[in-house]
């Protein structure tokens, strides 16, 4: 997975793709967003596990760690300056198949996100976009938002992190929400979808997109009691 993405990244350098548009419309050099080893910048849509009305536009700055694993920091598009709202891990289908079914419940597929044009790379030429999406179309994401959706008006993140999911079919997201995203980045989702019409999306592996089966997965605090005293002998040895 990583090798193909790196090839596409190098191609973008050859094509002198030097700018990406940030949330505030500032122009920054490609590859200088997020961590120093950022390889790709993506925007996509999330919704809360158990609440399909909670639609979220999310910016991802993703770094390649291996052929099977990318890690992304996630920012919102609803505030200026943008907020760090969560993380997403992206794995290959090979890695996903190694997960047990309990773990698979936490992951969502990217097949529809890619083929629908919902997942975009702002500022990227279609040839490079296509090469990268050929890889991402078969991947799976595990996304946690640490800034809760219902706490969007707060100046600090309050509460327990939330699991979010991805869209898998037509008529699941409000069209105006997609239109707002398109206007923000100067893109056309319909045109992007058309440019990817020849992408072959592999079947979704069983266990992903657990929300489709009616499962609502949430995180919570579990309070227990224990002896919280430090081991004094260890402390004495350390000093």
Give a yes or no: residue 164 inside a domain.
yes
Q: Is 200 within a domain?
A: yes
Q: What's the pTM value of the predicted model, to 2 decimals?
A: 0.82
- The verdict on residue 198 lying in a domain is yes
Q: Is the peptide bond before 81 cis (omega within 30 degrees of 0)?
A: yes
User: What is the distance, to the nearest Å, from the Cα of residue 211 to the centroid of all Cα atoms in its chain?
Assistant: 17
The answer as to whether 102 is a domain residue is yes
d(CA 119, CA 62) in angstroms, rounded, equals: 13
202 within domain boundaries: yes
Query: Count of alpha carbons within 13 Å of 5, Cβ hemisphere only?
Result: 25
Cα–Cα distance between 179 and 183 in angstroms, integer?
Answer: 6
Total number of domains constituting the chain: 1
Tell me, yes or no, whether 232 lies in a domain: no
3-state secondary structure of 116: coil
Q: Tell me the C-alpha distance between 130 and 195, whole Å.
A: 8
pLDDT, one tens digit per residue, over 145-156 is 999 998 888 899
pLDDT digits (tens, 9 = 90+) for 90-131: 999 999 999 999 999 999 999 999 999 999 999 888 888 999
**Residue 176 corresponds to which tokens in the numbers above?**
């105006």
32 falls within a domain: no
Range of the domain at 77: 2-22+38-221
In a domain? residue 42: yes
């Amino acid at each position: 997975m990583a090798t193909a993405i790196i090839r596409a990244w190098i191609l973008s350098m050859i094509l002198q793709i030097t700018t990406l548009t940030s949330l505030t419309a500032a122009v920054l050099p490609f590859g200088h967003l997020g961590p120093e080893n950022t390889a790709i910048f993506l925007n996509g849509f999330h919704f809360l596990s158990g609440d399909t009305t909670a639609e979220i536009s999310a910016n991802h700055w993703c770094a390649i760690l291996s052929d099977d694993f990318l890690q992304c920091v996630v920012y919102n598009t609803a505030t200026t300056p943008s907020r760090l709202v969560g993380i997403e891990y992206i794995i290959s289908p090979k890695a996903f198949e190694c997960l047990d079914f309990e773990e698979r419940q936490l992951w969502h597929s990217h097949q529809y996100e890619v083929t629908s044009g919902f997942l975009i790379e702002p500022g990227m030429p279609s040839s490079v976009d296509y090469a990268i999406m050929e890889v991402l179309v078969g991947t799976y994401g595990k996304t946690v938002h640490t800034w809760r959706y219902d706490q969007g008006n707060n100046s600090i993140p309050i509460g327990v992190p939330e699991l979010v999911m991805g869209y898998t079919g037509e008529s699941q997201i409000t069209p105006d929400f997609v239109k707002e995203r398109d206007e923000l980045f100067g893109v056309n989702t319909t045109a992007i979808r058309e440019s990817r019409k020849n992408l072959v999306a592999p079947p979704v592996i069983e266990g992903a997109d657990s929300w489709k089966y009616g499962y609502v997965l949430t995180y919570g605090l579990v309070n227990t009691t224990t002896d919280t005293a430090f081991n004094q002998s260890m402390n004495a040895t350390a000093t």
